[in-house]
Amino acid sequence: MVDMKANRKNVPSHALARWGLLPDLDDPRQVLANITPNWYASVMGTGIVAVAAASLPLQFPGLRTAATAVWAFAAFLLIALSITTALHWLRHRTRARGHARNPVMAQFYGAPPMAMLTVGAGTLLLGRDVIGLRAAVDIDWALWFAGTAGGLLCAVAVPYLMFTRHEVRPDSAFGGWLMPVVPPMVSASTGALLLPYAAPGQAQLTLLLCCYAMFGLSLLASIVVITLIWYRLALHKIGPAPMVPTLWIVLGPLGQSIAAANLLGGVAHLAVPAPYAGAMQAFGVLYGVPAWGFALLWVALAGAITVRTARSGLPFSLTWWSFTFPVGTMVMGTSGIALHTGAQLFRVAAAVFYAALVLAWLLVAARTARGSLRGRLFLPAAQPAPAR
């Protein structure tokens, strides 16, 4: 057998690059130097495939087993990225701090908290089959508290930087602006899953009310941002092709809010008496269906813009992960409406959204793996804009 490692130095570098054995990097150490917060979108997009499968109304043999394997992969990615990010901060502290000064990259600090919350939910829903219920609950609590604390900090810190330091132009608004304000909504929906495991009485009541407060925090902030995105599209049009996939992020707060409203309504009876418990459950449907209708409108708009852009060239980047997590939240939200209404329409729609999610994940995961192995996704990012 030929020892490729021993003979690689005798092979031209252009040939190694063509075979995928040599990254398109000048120095392999750039992999660690150029880790950015948006890498956690891959954990979000992978984890939501598993979580959405667990809540899908239409189950079939093998789905749960496959979903559990995907959850395990997402958990591995979260651990690997967390270690890599820690090393990045230790060895490249100046560059790491520079991410917060970049008005685009700073938005993606919302990704790590959502990655933790998603993996935590998957641990409770699916990982319990592997590690046991007690361990699953404990891990989910730990990830929920960490993700919630990080998400609330991000929801305050990133807008503060935008308001005080970042240079923002009239055409700057993009889907990524939602990333800092969506984590509290993810905390609200995943907190609902933990409510049955909280101590009865004040602990459950506090958790329920805090989840509803985070629901409102995220929803109202998202409405403001979505309005700005619509305004920017109307006045300044689509913008650079690599940013087009981020339009799908708008589905994130929409789908996640529908899921949160229905999940919280479904467990409200554990913490509050009638008539409040019944009203909270009804709110899930009364809010969820109209919001679902607007989400369909956005699916049509974002889909049309994406197809139009792809015809003239849509280069691959980590923004393609925007095709996954937001669609996954639509699966969860649609599944929640189906559960509380019994409508066949939403059962079928949830299955359709899930099929689209799986196809998008397969495509984006394959392109990410290829770009990672070749090193292209670890090339230096653009220099951050100067802070004022």
Closest CA to 126 of 140, 112, 113, 115: 140
pLDDT classification of 380: cutoffs 50, 70, 90: low
Residue with tokens 């409200």: 268
Give yes or no for residue 388 having a pLDDT over 70.
no
Give yes or no for residue 30 having a pLDDT over 60.
yes
Say if residues 194 and 140 touch (Cβ distance below 8 Å).
yes
Q: What's the average model confidence in pLDDT over 315-341? A: 96
Could you tell me where the DSSP H helices lie in 30-167? 30-33, 41-55, 63-91, 93-101, 111-122, 128-131, 133-164
Q: Which two tokens stand for residue 264?
A: 């919280």
Question: Mean pLDDT across the chain, nearest whole number?
Answer: 90
Q: Which two tokens stand for residue 285?
A: 């449907």
Residue 33: per-residue pLDDT: 79
Closest CA to 36 of 91, 93, 108: 108
Q: Which two tokens stand for residue 127?
A: 């990982």
Give yes or no for residue 11 having a pLDDT over 90.
no
Say if residues 261 and 283 touch (Cβ distance below 8 Å).
yes
Q: Provide the terminal-to-terminal Cα distance of the chain, rounded to the nearest Å.
A: 59
- Per-residue buried b or exposed e for 346-358, using 16+ beta carbons within 10 Å of the residue's own CB: bbebbbebbebbb
Give the integer Cα–Cα distance in Å for 281 and 263.
8
Give the integer Cα–Cα distance in Å for 4 and 25.
20
Give the integer Cα–Cα distance in Å for 113 and 342.
33
Q: Which two tokens stand for residue 322?
A: 């925007």
Cis bond before residue 275 (omega within 30° of 0):
yes
Residue 296: per-residue pLDDT: 98
pTM over 0.85: yes
Give the integer Cα–Cα distance in Å for 136 and 338.
27
Query: For 31, phi and psi rounded to 5 degrees?
Result: -60, -50
CATH number of 26-377: 1.50.10.150
In a 13 Å sphere around the CA of 131, the CA atoms on its Cβ side amount to: 17
Residue with tokens 């000048």: 26
Residue-wise pLDDT for 143-159, tens only, equals 999 999 999 999 999 99
Residue-wise pLDDT for 115-149, tens only, equals 999 999 999 999 999 999 999 999 999 999 999 99
Give the integer Cα–Cα distance in Å for 53 and 185.
20
Sequential DSSP letters for 19-35: HT-S-S-S-TTHHHHT-
Give the integer Cα–Cα distance in Å for 354 and 334.
10
